[in-house]
Amino acid sequence: MPQPPRNRKDHYVPQGYLKGFIDPARVANDRPLWCLNKPRNIWERKSTKQICHVVGMYDFSNDAIDAEHADVTFKSMEDGFPTIRDQLREVNFGSWRHDLPFLRSYMEMIRVRSPLYFEEQGQAVADSFLGRVVTVDEGGRKIVYDNSHPLTEDEVHDHTLVTMREEFRKGSPWMEDFHWQIRTTFDSRNPVITSESPLFVKINRPGFHGPITDEALRDPATEVYFPLCWEACLVGRLAPFEADVRPFAQTDLDELRHMMAEMAPEFVVAPQVLHGLLLDGRPAPRVATRK
């Protein structure tokens, strides 16, 4: 199976997705997105090519590995999302239920191709060993290996790439019982934002700390947020919603933006500079003046 060129900038968040957060008035700009750089605490202009990528992230360590590349696995998702998003925009997101199966698959794709997923998979197999089975006794109680050794970084990475594809192919059973709603805002000065980790889980438990477990996801108070574009966010939970589409309450939108900014690993993405978006314990972010 031929492999794409190596050592490219592999976007773990597709550029087609990021383009949904460009202010229509800035579409012609060479760097139309506004990004809040958390380490520097500054708003910077960026293009979709400049963010959410890692060089060689989806490369197998050996060109001889006969496995499907991420480009092939995710092609239909990457190609289909911008069209579906733009069609939903034309009808103010009123027809979104028809596209829910695709949107769920897209959310699962975003989850399994993320740096966080790679980190978690690496930790899961960090103490594993690789070896050739030499003998197995009749009862299967004793297995003898030859050349057993801990997994190298390359072997861990290749294992994660295979697991990523298998996980995506299985679908998203953890979302099957969720009810869904679209929440909207149509003011680019008061938008939905996103980050390099767009799939956001809100655990509504007082004092909750720790990893997001299956038990936490099954809590009726837990909500899943996936920004579709600056105008709309898909929200899921086990409890039913009263309406398929509704405008964001301003307090809910402010809270969502703050939580996403705090949880984002390095930066958030918005169509406009949001002067009211402040990181906890930090002064108001500066705005880069370089055009």
Percent of the chain with pLDDT over 70: 84
Lowest mean pLDDT among 5-19, 22-36, 151-165, 218-232: 151-165
DSSP class of residue 206 equals: T
Residue that wins the pLDDT comparison between 213 and 99? 99
Task: Report yes or no on 245 lying in a domain.
Answer: yes
Task: Report yes or no on 2 lying in a domain.
Answer: no
Report the mean per-residue pLDDT for the chain.
Answer: 86
Task: Report yes or no on 1 lying in a domain.
Answer: no
Mean pLDDT computed over 193-199: 94
Q: What confidence tier does 213 reach under pLDDT thresholds 50, 70, 90? A: low
Task: Report yes or no on 3 lying in a domain.
Answer: no
Residue that wins the pLDDT comparison between 125 and 183? 183
Nearest residue to 230 via CA among 267, 183, 275: 183
* 20 close to 85: Cβ distance less than 8 angstroms: yes
Other C-beta atoms within 10 Å of 224: how many? Answer: 19
Our count of domains for the chain comes to: 1
- Per residue in 111-169, pLDDT tens? 999 998 888 887 877 666 554 444 455 555 554 445 556 778 888 888 888 889 998 98
Residue that wins the pLDDT comparison between 216 and 43? 43
Task: Report yes or no on 4 lying in a domain.
Answer: no
pLDDT given for residue 260 in this prediction: 92
Residue that wins the pLDDT comparison between 71 and 65? 71
Task: Report yes or no on 199 lying in a domain.
Answer: yes
pLDDT at 234 over 50: yes
Task: Report yes or no on 161 lying in a domain.
Answer: yes
Give the residue ranges of DSSP H helices in the chain: 15-18, 70-73, 75-90, 100-112, 115-124, 153-170, 214-217, 250-263
pLDDT at 78 over 80: yes
pLDDT given for residue 124 in this prediction: 76
The residue range of the domain holding 155 is 9-287
pLDDT at 211 over 50: no
Strands, DSSP E only, in the chain? 9-11, 33-37, 42-46, 53-55, 129-136, 143-150, 179-184, 194-195, 200-202, 223-229, 232-237, 245-247, 267-270, 286-287
Residue that wins the pLDDT comparison between 215 and 100? 100
Mean pLDDT computed over 81-97: 96
pLDDT given for residue 215 in this prediction: 66
- Per residue in 277-287, pLDDT tens? 999 999 999 99
pLDDT given for residue 209 in this prediction: 45
Task: Report yes or no on 102 lying in a domain.
Answer: yes
- Per residue in 256-265, pLDDT tens? 999 999 999 9
The residue type at 99:
D
pLDDT given for residue 86 in this prediction: 96
Distance of CA 158 to the CA centre of its chain: 20
